[in-house]
Amino acid sequence: MLGKLYSLSTIFRDMETVQGIVFDIQRYSVQDGPGIRTTVFLKGCPLRCLWCHSPESQSPKPQIAISKMSCLGYDLCAECMAACPKAELGAIKAVDFVKADPEAEGGERHLTIPQIDTDVCDSCGLCAEACPPEGLEICGKRRGVEEVIKLVLKDRSYYEKSGGGMTVSGGEPLSQHTYAHALLAAAKAEGLNTALDTTGYAKWETIEQMLPVCDTFLYDMKHIDSAPHKQATGVPNELILENLQKLAQACRDLAELDAPLQPKIQIRIPTIPQFNDDEATQERMADFIKQLGSAVSMVQLLPYHALGAAKYEKIFWKQTIFEAPVPSDAKMQGLARIYAGKGIPVGIH
């Protein structure tokens, strides 16, 4: 029930052989678990949340991204077009772009820059390799466990002083569960505090195997009802809520057994206007969380923001981008009082 313990021989084997697709490694993170942390972001997610602030995380494969401000423009450089083996099929084409340039007349310069057709492009990466200013890049790189852990350990002194460590996030890291487990086990073997940021949309057995290597589960809960959850994320929520109940029970069991590792759950609720920001919905979510008991250390309310909007354009997103007003401080404080009134520790992040 409580998962299999890891062994040093297994960890060493996994460090040498297990690889995964990582799209970012963020050092000095203070939002993804206790203390100062390094967060490793894995590609791939089964959900399609309308408000997703990391759209580059959704595809499990590496993909081409562009930094328009770095591009020199086709008047000075067309190396990407020349390098693309599918240029004649329309994988890459030229589009107009206005770039801020204080040295140009009127403070701007008109360029012709690359546009990737993601239906044709196979993300071979040749265009990014050929780009002199690195305006084009591959989002997502295959990395071994040892490579990542070496980078994480560079900040060991910060973890020790702050009670921090390593967090594995995504996307949905359980979509690369073998790699996620290997990272967490290797970090735990180094004595680091570990956390897993998950949507909970996975087989229970997959979540269960993380119990012996994870100090904190950062568990997303987006809605209490399945129909609106599916409409907004692409998947129903029965499995997510069922797994959360099972995880809470497993954490309580480990605490009762006085196990060497006793994980806690931090529930993260993205607060989205016209989706789950009404008091009635939040009341029901709070009631559900209350019955999970001592396994839940706190609830984090995450107000919607549009800071990830630029990322959609960067990866040549074709679908409509979700837009909504940012919840006011007063709104968030009111929702937080619902949880506090039920005796649930709550924070706004």
Q: What is the 3-state secondary structure (H, E, C) of 18-69?
A: CEEEEEEEEEEECCCCCCCEEEEEECCCCCCCCCCCCHHHCCCCCEEEECCC
Enter the pTM of the model. Answer: 0.92
**pLDDT bracket for residue 28 (50, 70, 90):** very high
Structural tokens at position 255: 């605490």
Of 59-68, 97-106, 124-133, 226-235, the one with minimum mean pLDDT is 97-106
Contact (CB, 8 A) for 271 and 335: yes
Q: Which position has the token pair 């993601």?
A: 118
How far is it, in rounded angstroms, from Cα 183 to Cα 172?
14
The pLDDT assigned to 20 comes to 98
338: burial class by Cβ within 10 Å (0-12, 13-18, 19+)? buried
Give the tens place of pLDDT for each residue, 274-314. Answer: 999 999 999 999 999 999 999 999 999 999 998 888 899 89
Kindly state the DSSP code that residue 90 receives in the 8-state scheme. T
Domain borders along the chain are: 8-60+142-348, 64-139
Give the tens place of pLDDT for each residue, 56-74. Answer: 999 999 999 999 888 998 8
Q: What average pLDDT does this structure show over 267-276?
A: 97
Q: Which residue type occupies 208?
A: E
Q: Do domains 8-60+142-348 and 64-139 have the same CATH topology?
A: no
How far is it, in rounded angstroms, from Cα 202 to Cα 214?
16
Q: Which helix (H) or strand (E) holds 335?
A: helix 329-340
Q: Which residue has the higher pLDDT, 69 or 117?
A: 117
Does the pLDDT of residue 2 top 80, yes or no?
A: no
Does the pLDDT of residue 344 top 60, yes or no?
A: yes
What is the torsion angle, in degrees rounded to the nearest 10, for the CA atoms of residue 244, residue 245, residue 248 and residue 249? -150
**pLDDT bracket for residue 5 (50, 70, 90):** low
CA separation (Å) from 162 to 30, 158, 184, 249, 309?
A: 10, 6, 19, 29, 32
How far is it, in rounded angstroms, from Cα 102 to Cα 137?
26
What CATH topology corresponds to 8-60+142-348?
TIM Barrel (3.20.20)
- Residue 258 CA, chain-centre distance (Å), reads 31
**pLDDT bracket for residue 4 (50, 70, 90):** low
Q: Is the bond preceding residue 171 a cis peptide, omega within 30 degrees?
A: yes
How far is it, in rounded angstroms, from Cα 253 to Cα 212?
13
**Structural domain 64-139, CATH architecture:** 2-Layer Sandwich (3.30)
Reduced to 3 states, what is the DSSP secondary structure of residue 118?
coil
pLDDT more than 70, % of the chain: 98
Of 12-16, 159-163, 195-199, 344-348, the one with minimum mean pLDDT is 12-16
Q: Which residue type occupies 176?
A: Q
Q: What average pLDDT does this structure show over 189-205?
A: 97
The pLDDT assigned to 3 comes to 46
Does the pLDDT of residue 1 top 60, yes or no?
A: no
The pLDDT assigned to 6 comes to 66
Q: What average pLDDT does this structure show over 320-337?
A: 94
Q: Which residue has the higher pLDDT, 176 or 72?
A: 176
Average pLDDT, the chain: 94
Does the pLDDT of residue 256 top 90, yes or no?
A: yes
The pLDDT assigned to 101 comes to 81
How far is it, in rounded angstroms, from Cα 211 to Cα 234?
27
Give the tens place of pLDDT for each residue, 125-156. Answer: 999 999 999 999 999 999 999 999 999 999 99
Structural tokens at position 211: 């119990």
Q: Which residue has the higher pLDDT, 176 or 76?
A: 176
What is the torsion angle, in degrees rounded to the nearest 10, for the CA atoms of residue 270, residue 276, residue 279 and residue 283? -80
Question: Cβ atoms within 10 A of the Cβ of 280, count?
Answer: 9
Taking Cα atoms as reference points, which of 290, 167, 312, 307 lies closest to residue 221?
Answer: 290
Does the pLDDT of residue 254 top 60, yes or no?
A: yes
Q: What average pLDDT does this structure show over 26-31?
A: 95
Does the pLDDT of residue 38 top 90, yes or no?
A: yes
How far is it, in rounded angstroms, from Cα 72 to Cα 129?
15
